[in-house]
Structure 1
């Protein structure tokens, strides 16, 4: 079992520098397996539970992945009904990853998975304005006046649902359908579907094509890839 110096493990978690970690240890602010440790150079293993000022540290290295989620897949770590989840597409990943936000069961498209909780929470918060672009196939053809309501907001179940932008990609008068591109910065439950239903144009098919600057280019449904270091850096810059 590999052992590492306690101050090195604390520094590797990203919590603080090694020098600051040494100061925290010496001042009695670090616990290992619920016992205060003040001796510098104490060796610990991956199984040891470490707390700094009462907060457990994350010992896993952060990892970041993208999945082209197919329809009929649950966007959670597990499902009590035994249905397939997004984690089933990552059998080789040992870290405890989880999805950033959700795509509903009947929707497809880009979803991020990571074990970086801080970044995930920041990306999901609407105040950071991370854009998500969806393409929806609608039953019916809304007028320009009706579509204009999307930017002001449509009320559904006492919630105001809005899009920051929309773009008509096509309309089929014979089939009475429209393909509409929608850009959101919020991610409320079934946001696009509820918003369009409230207007009277139910969504027949929905796909998320972009998350921030990330796209599905090069991926087919069910395929995954790790994010590049450059992409991770860009995501963190967006989150700031």
Structure 2
């Protein structure tokens, strides 16, 4: 979801279904207020978080919002779904306008899910060149051995996309459990990587994205606001 930047006259022409010439007259008549001040500029650049009033009535009044959700099994990472409950449906009493998910999880995967209406922030977080680590706890059907570590580190070729995955770190925690850290999010990537070892993934739980760690006090299915430090990735 990309940031919706546009000119002020374009916004009003679409919102009020009037001509851009008519918008200029509204500006001359001091009827348009932008971010708390009377506006005179027809070509002012605005986005979805610019506060705009017309004749004292709000036309746009969004504020940036950032949430952490502890995603349960069986919840789909989508805004709408005909079959399964969605992650956004768990955000009670929240204005869902412009809300989207920054880094999806599969239907049966659990853990940290970030939800925001700030598309610039989410794009920064998920862009491959920002090299933000994503950390997962993985439970396997078959025993692990040291060969997995080298396999994940050297990358794997995915024939369908004709790509080679970036090096990923794998730490063996126990016979059937590992921690995986990667900087990508290809389709079913972790399951496909373990599939090369013919080892089915039984559970996949995301623990962190960059410096944002899943709050251990946050119950499954619950959400909270991100702190200022978490938003700034400190």
TM-score bucket (shorter structure): 0.7 to 0.9
Residues 163 and 182, structure 1, Cα contact 8 Å, conserved in 2? no
Which of 110, 113, 116 matches 1:114? 116
Q: Which residue of 1 aligns with 2:48?
A: 58
The 5 Å alignment of 1:120-159 reads: 120-156=122-158, 157=160, 158-159=162-163
Alignment deviations for residues 130-165 of structure 1 (CA, whole Å, 9 cap, x no partner): 111001111222431243110111223333234531
Q: Is the 8 A contact 1:135 1:209 kept in 2?
A: yes
1:197 to 195, 198, 219: 195
Q: Could you tell me which runs of 5 or more consecutive residues in structure 1 were left unpaired when the two chains were aligned.
A: 1-12, 16-28, 46-50, 172-177, 236-240
* Aligned residues: CA RMSD: 2.7
1:39 maps to: 28
Select 1:104's aligned residue among 93, 103, 106.
Answer: 106
2-side partners of 1:52 and 1:195: how far apart?
A: 53
**1:3 alignment counterpart:** none
Output the CA distance in 2 between the equivalents of 1:102 and 1:33: 34
Measured after TM superposition, the shift of residue 191 of structure 1 is 1.3
Matched, 1:72 2:70: no
CA–CA separation in structure 2 for the residues paired with 1:152 and 1:162 = 8
Which segment is superposed worse, 161-170 or 51-60?
Answer: 51-60
Q: How far did residue 233 of structure 1 move? A: 2.3
The 3 A distance-change label for structure 1 pair 230 and 41 is farther
Structure 1 Cα separation of the partners of residues 151 and 227 of structure 2:
38
* Whole-Å separation in 2 of the counterparts to 1:229 and 1:152: 36
Taking the aligned partners of 2:67 and 2:209, their CA distance within structure 1 comes to: 13
1:54 Cα shift?
9.3
Q: Name the SS for the 2:68 alignment partner.
A: strand
Deviation (angstroms), 1:75: 0.2
Q: Please, what TM-score do these two structures have when normalized by structure 2?
A: 0.76
Q: How many residues align?
A: 198
Instruction: Point out where structure 2 has 5 or more consecutive residues left out of the alignment.
Output: 14-19, 35-40, 50-61
What is residue 18 of structure 1 aligned with on the other side?
none
